[in-house]
Structure 1
Amino acid sequence: MLMIVFQELSIYLIIKSLLRNIFFVRLFDVIFLSVCMLMSYIFLAKLGISFSFLMLMMFIFFTWWYVRVLSGALCITFQVFIWSIMVDHICDILTRLMKVPNGYVVVFVILSVVSLIFLNIVMDRTNFSPTFSNQSLNRITALLLMIIYLYIMLSEGLENQFQVILSNLIILSVVMGLVLVFYNEYLKNVRAKYEVQKQRIQIQNDTRYMNEIEAHYNELRRFRHDYQNMLISIDEYLKTDDLEGLQEYYQKNLAPVSNRVLKEKYNLEDLSRVKVKSIKSILFSKLSYAQSQEIEVHFDLKEPLIDITVNELDLDIALGIMLDNAIEASVGHADGEIMSAIFIEKNSTVFLIQNNVFEQLPPLWKLKEAGYSTKGKNRGIGLNSLSKIVNRNENMILETRVLGAVFLQRLTVKRVSQND
């Protein structure tokens, strides 16, 4: 009975480690372990080896309670049970070889503790996940693990012969090696797809950036042409000493142009300090578009932004959503204004975007609901997507505030310490 308690506790701790919440014990955990102990006391003697199937079902339910995906729960639980069988076989072999009577429990506890410590070190220092993001792949993996588990249990039966245990251990080792190779190849494919996607987004950003540069260059050529015509017209007034006509001409034709140029002032010098190409492309494209919609735009950056410490694609999408929301809220309003800035601090980089508010906004939690928008039905995916991006990046912190007539969003990207 004591051995069963140790095994169940070991399985519980390994599953909690794979779920990355080993130090977070809920009331559900306590109730579950208590029920497991009670079931062991009642049914272990009656069911014998079949009791392990009952425990398997219970731990599948336990894992499902946390992940809420059956294929993921099956993958995690079968992995842990197969690992438990491997530890059990290793303990049995070591006990037989060392010929230590009643030493099985001690060896099992030592191996369980060592494997648990090693697992938590790996989980803490890597992004290892016991499941795949693809649910179809999870279902196939769960089926293969179930076949392996059933083979082991049925092949041993009630006879726990040394040769059977050794052969099963070898088979398990080979299978686990194949699984690791398969998982490594899957990760390589995921990384390759991500790099291709990243390069495609980079090409799109560079193309958009070049198009915007070309548009500004054409605008500058038009302005030079108009400027030459202005000088010619002024020269004619000066030659005839028609100062009254010149004053009237200035107020009617030159003053509006001067005001428009001042209003559309764009701080390209500050944008040139953004050295991350994709970030520069997003900022340049969105702010230039805002200007074309007659929105007053400001951008501030005092020192070069050389790199970022977060997923670059996620940051591009996040900034795009924030700027799109600011543009959508400001377009069509005479006083529309967007203030944007980047502040490089010691331990973080802060992206600040704010815009004027021209209508009564609902509570912030309402704005973050998928599908909700103040501009119409089924348009409000921006803030919901933004929240998901921030939640999956540990280095990102998003602050959203409404301060009087100003809607402000502050996205902080924490720097990774060199000692981490």
Structure 2
Amino acid sequence: MIKPLNPENEEKRLEELYRFKILDTATEKDFDDVVELASIICEVPISLITMIDASRQWFKSKKGIDWSETERDISFCGHAIYQNDLFIIEDATKDERFTDNPLVINDPSIRFYAGMPLTTENGYNLGTLCVIDSKPKTLNKSQKTALEILSNQVSRLIELREKKLQLEENVKIIEVQNKKLKNLNNQNNEMTSIISHDLRGPISSVRSYFNSDYFKNSSTEEKLKLMPVIKESVNGIHNLVENLLEWSQSVGDFNLSSLNLHQYIYEVIQLFQVQANKKNIKLLNKVDRHLKVLADSSMLRFILRNLTGNAIKFTENGSIELSSSLQEDGKICIAIKDSGVGMSEQLVNKLNKGEKKITTLGTRKEKGSGLGLKLINEFLERHNSSLEIKSKEGKGSTFFFTLSQA
């Protein structure tokens, strides 16, 4: 037996083959119809469309055998792609290249073989359309011509298949872009509404106060008494603008990566440490130092920051514990548990239903923008997760969500 040689353009030929993404794909009727027709025209029991991979020949369509592939070293088609014409072996037992070939000695006992290369528009032979018989045989002129025509049709089918796949990919890209544009439009409308109702109000109030005759005629002492109120209004405006900026960025790129959860929680605790100390709150990081989760970095930071800040808002002289646990499905459950004032069952139900603009004052009358929870839910949805809440009035609250372990 003589093994088939590799064509001189083998590396480029394989690149071309892989570009078509046809290897190991499901059967397709258009290709199956060709092998059926080739078998009928050439009056043989076996007909194949083969793709010659680096070390195997794989059958895209087949008639008369059950295998899906064989080794390239013993393939007849490996010899056929070395040329551009019809490759015919009338009796394999009389050809030194195949006399002791396993496919000749054993099943399917090949005697006759005729294979026509499948040539792409770029001139590469990807495989063959071949017909096989267990008896010596010849093909007449009409059968040879038919086999050549059918092989050309298979080559065109392969090209058209690749163009169809590319078109489908382009359609998917367009659908994603359309969805993103729709989300941007909806977001723009929501942001316009929020700016109109929630941002304009406090800004107008502060502006009116400073432009009023009351401010001009007030003493320094009277003005200083109103500074805490003004400060709260400015802080509220700042928080709302920060959340609006986070929201605008959420429509952009979404990049999952392996993140050290303990480190992210540590950074959030450092951020809130002064604020927590003022309310005599202990911030506890109970997450394993080496635990990694799969998440978008900026979104995870926002979720942890907002849930921790919210817990501080409703806690006085207590503790806030950030922990994790492994679920049965292999995901990591992250919990932010506080010992604060808790919530009524009615309020928890509203939050779980995702009702818009739910804001309540903290233990020291702290205000929120009302956007934090909305953004958290949107960000978690991008991670195929959701926020769960457990709470009792006077007994604190716990917020849960899950992420995939990295």
Query: TM-score, normalising length from structure 2?
Result: 0.38
Q: Which has the higher contact order (CA 8 A, sep 6+)?
A: 2
Q: Determine which structure has more spread, i.e. the larger CA radius of gyration.
A: 2
More helix by share: 1
Query: TM-score, normalising length from structure 1?
Result: 0.37
